[in-house]
Amino acid sequence: MVVNVGPKDYTATIVPVGQVRSAESDIVKVIKARDDWHIKQASRRKFEYSIEVEDYGAKAVMLQVGVAGGADDSGDKGAWVYLLDRERKVIKKQFTKSNKTVWLNARAGQGELYYVVIEDNDTVLDGRYPGNAGYLEIRALIKD
Ligand SMILES: [Ca+2]
């Protein structure tokens, strides 16, 4: 499926919320199949999303945060993606200039709260394609 959003073209795979098995027999739980993120106001240059990782009773859980659409036509041409813990300490960060999905992976505590922050401080907010926008997708890899 290709979705045309302004100057960007996305190829998006639609994954239903639920469980699938990965190649290594870990369980992949889709926490968020796909959601939009957007930065289009001067007063709100950070887009924030909270994640609660369930207690799966598993040996370990890997959180996988995928962000697509970071590429921009102005400023530094991209956006920052942060994964924060409950205390808002940065666990992972990555700058993306890609419209493809970039993945931030981190071991997660079960029953814990995390935040995904997408920040673009220099995207131009007027003109034909104002601001920056894309999709995010969040999974938990459950290791038994
Ligand atoms: Ca930018």
| pLDDT score for 116 | 97
Q: What's the pLDDT tens digit per position in 24-72?
A: 668 899 988 899 999 999 999 999 999 999 999 999 999 999 999 999 9
User: Tokens at residue 66, please?
Assistant: 């995928």
> What string of H, E and C letters represents the secondary structure of 2-30?
EEEECCEEEECCCCCCCEEECCCCCEEEE
| pLDDT score for 100 | 96
Domain that holds residue 20: 2-143
Compute, in angstroms, the gap from residue 71 CA to the centroid of ligand 1.
Answer: 8
Write down the pTM of the prediction.
Answer: 0.82
- The residue assigned the tokens 């034909």 is 128
Distance (Å, whole) CA 9 – CA 69: 9
| pLDDT score for 144 | 84
Compute, in angstroms, the gap from residue 120 CA to the centroid of ligand 1.
Answer: 5
Q: What's the pLDDT tens digit per position in 78-89?
A: 999 999 999 999
Compute, in angstroms, the gap from residue 88 CA to the centroid of ligand 1.
Answer: 22
**Mean pLDDT, range 110-136, rounded to an integer:** 95
| pLDDT score for 26 | 81
Structure letter (DSSP) for residue 40: -
Compute, in angstroms, the gap from residue 127 CA to the centroid of ligand 1.
Answer: 15
Does the pLDDT of residue 21 top 80, yes or no?
Answer: no
Does the pLDDT of residue 18 top 80, yes or no?
Answer: no
> Given phi > 0 = left and psi -120 to 50 = alpha, else beta, which region is 28?
beta
Compute, in angstroms, the gap from residue 75 CA to the centroid of ligand 1.
Answer: 5
Does the pLDDT of residue 97 top 80, yes or no?
Answer: yes
Rounded mean pLDDT of the chain? 88
Is the Cα torsion angle 96, 101, 104, 108 positive or negative in sign? positive
Does the pLDDT of residue 2 top 90, yes or no?
Answer: no
| pLDDT score for 128 | 86
CATH of residue 136: 2.60.120.1540
Beta sheet of 27-39, edge-to-edge order: 19-21, 27-39, 132-143, 60-68, 102-108
How many domains does one find in the chain? 1
